[in-house]
């Protein structure tokens, strides 16, 4: 491991330079208009695995419906999922709602990352983001942008997805957050990674850390090495092929749904009963296909009409949902499309 940047430039100088750059170049994002912990927390959860451009309209729409922590805590989960529909990764919305109830019960947000991390749905990143951005705790945040920036600044060739390497990045981020206003430092680090130190085409010539960047100096000395070689690429997870056979059970204008325990995708959500099996190759005939994370899903629905609405199926309680309620009860477009194929 090499950390020449810290040898040439002190952490305090790095933090000062970064904060000055941020004051001149920060994007006017809606969640930066307030230090309110609820709004910061909501934005951080939404931004996980989603781009800023995609999040902004959802963030504003969600806040209009649930303007305070109490509003979210008192809401029905179905209403929360309805407002989340389209953002994907619906487990985030479920965890958000559960965490809001826990926070509301305890009277609001604790002010430290250690306390926040004890609550459901708060991992190391989210806890530090809320505590530093809302309450000024001197802790750094480590997300994908920060890992990329710090990897290049210090020319770190680490397996960043492992716990040991994450601790190294956390230590470096903490040092920076303790050298200046943690709100400014953490926002600036993420901003630098999002706008300048990008994955494939970093604009090094306008980077505030260009003279201190070890990866840039390294690539200048070795023509075979590039800034974009940092961080080390993570081994890609292989795609899995799944055939999903949902049973579209209809009684009148209502469809039968069960909590999903039969498929590895859309865990815990209400889905039509059925089966999902992993295959080595795609089927030749299928109704449609979709993809959720690394699952390639080929859908082969069957349709059944029942004269009356039963309460249970295979020992599990059924939920009956009318066509007008589908979007509210089932945020996943893949599941709705399967149900709508019964038309």
Q: Which among 44, 82, 137, 168 is annotated as catalytic?
A: 44
Residue 107's contacts (CB-CB under 8 Å, 6 or more residues apart) are none
Give the separation between CA 266 and CA 273, rounded to whole angstroms.
Answer: 13
Q: Is 240 a catalytic residue?
A: no
Burial class (CB within 10 angstroms; exposed 0-12, middle 13-18, buried 19+) of 79: middle
* Cβ contact 93:80 at 8 Å: yes
Give the separation between CA 343 and CA 333, rounded to whole angstroms.
Answer: 16
Give the separation between CA 150 and CA 10, rounded to whole angstroms.
Answer: 14
The two structure tokens encoding residue 329: 């009860």
Residue appearing with tokens 């040898």: 7
Phi and psi torsions of 11, nearest 5°: -60, -40
Q: What separation in angstroms does the CA of 240 have from each of 4, 261, 299?
A: 42, 18, 14
Closest CA to 91 of 267, 339, 229, 321: 267
Residue 325's contacts (CB-CB under 8 Å, 6 or more residues apart) are none
Closest CA to 123 of 151, 99, 147: 99
Task: Write out the catalytic residue numbers.
Answer: 44
């Amino acid at each position: 491991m090499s950390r020449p940047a810290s040898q040439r430039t002190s952490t305090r100088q790095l933090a000062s330079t970064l904060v000055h750059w941020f004051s001149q170049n920060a994007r006017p994002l809606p969640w930066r208009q307030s230090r309110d912990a609820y709004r910061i927390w909501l934005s951080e959860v939404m931004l996980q695995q989603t781009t800023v451009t995609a999040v902004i309209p959802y963030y504003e729409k969600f806040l209009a419906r649930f303007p305070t922590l109490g509003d979210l805590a008192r809401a029905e989960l179905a209403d929360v999922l309805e407002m989340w529909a389209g953002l994907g990764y619906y487990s985030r919305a479920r965890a958000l709602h559960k965490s809001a109830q826990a926070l509301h019960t305890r009277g609001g947000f604790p002010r430290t990352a250690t306390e926040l991390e004890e609550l459901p749905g708060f991992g190391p990143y989210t806890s530090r983001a809320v505590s530093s951005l809302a309450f000024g705790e001197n802790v750094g945040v480590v997300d994908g942008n920060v890992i990329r920036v710090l990897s290049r600044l210090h020319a770190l060739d680490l397996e960043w997805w492992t716990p040991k390497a994450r601790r190294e990045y956390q230590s470096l981020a903490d040092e920076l957050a303790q050298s200046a206003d943690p709100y400014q430092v953490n926002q600036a680090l993420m901003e630098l990674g999002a706008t300048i130190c990008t994955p494939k085409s970093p604009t090094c010539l306008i980077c505030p850390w260009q003279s201190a960047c070890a990866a840039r100096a390294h690539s200048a000395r070795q023509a075979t090495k590039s800034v974009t070689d940092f961080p080390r690429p993570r081994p890609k997870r292989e795609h899995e092929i799944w055939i999903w056979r949902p049973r579209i059970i209809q009684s009148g204008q209502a469809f039968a749904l069960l909590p999903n325990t039969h498929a590895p995708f859309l865990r815990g959500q209400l889905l039509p009963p059925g089966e999902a099996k992993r295959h080595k190759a795609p089927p030749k005939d299928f109704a449609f296909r979709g993809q959720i994370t690394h699952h390639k899903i080929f859908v082969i629905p069957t349709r059944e009409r029942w004269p009356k609405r039963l309460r249970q199926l295979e020992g599990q309680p059924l939920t009956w949902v009318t066509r007008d309620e589908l979007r509210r009860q089932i945020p996943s477009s893949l599941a709705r499309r399967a149900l709508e194929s019964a038309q």
